[in-house]
């Protein structure tokens, strides 16, 4: 999958950066929210 993205956008660094932001931002947001939620639940007595 990464090879397809890099192969198609290898000639367009700006497009590659936009795609990486679109892919990474939701993943980072969801992972951080999951981490904070799990920490909050684990800290409950």
pTM beyond 0.75: the answer is no
44 — phi, psi (to 5°)? -70, 145
Cα(5)–Cα(16) distance, integer angstroms:
8
Give residue 11's pLDDT band: very low, low, confident or very high (50, 70, 90).
Answer: low
Give residue 14's pLDDT band: very low, low, confident or very high (50, 70, 90).
Answer: confident
Q: What percent of the chain has pLDDT over 90?
A: 7
Higher-confidence residue of 17 and 13: namely 17
Q: Are 37 and 44 in contact (CB under 8 A)?
A: no
Cα(33)–Cα(21) distance, integer angstroms:
18
Longest dimension (CA), the chain: 54
Confidence at residue 33, expressed as pLDDT on a 0 to 100 scale: 92
């Amino acid at each position: 999958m990464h090879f397809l993205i890099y192969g198609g956008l290898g000639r367009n660094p700006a497009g590659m950066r936009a795609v990486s932001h679109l892919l990474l931002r939701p993943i980072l947001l969801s992972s951080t929210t999951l981490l904070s939620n799990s920490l909050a639940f684990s800290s409950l007595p």
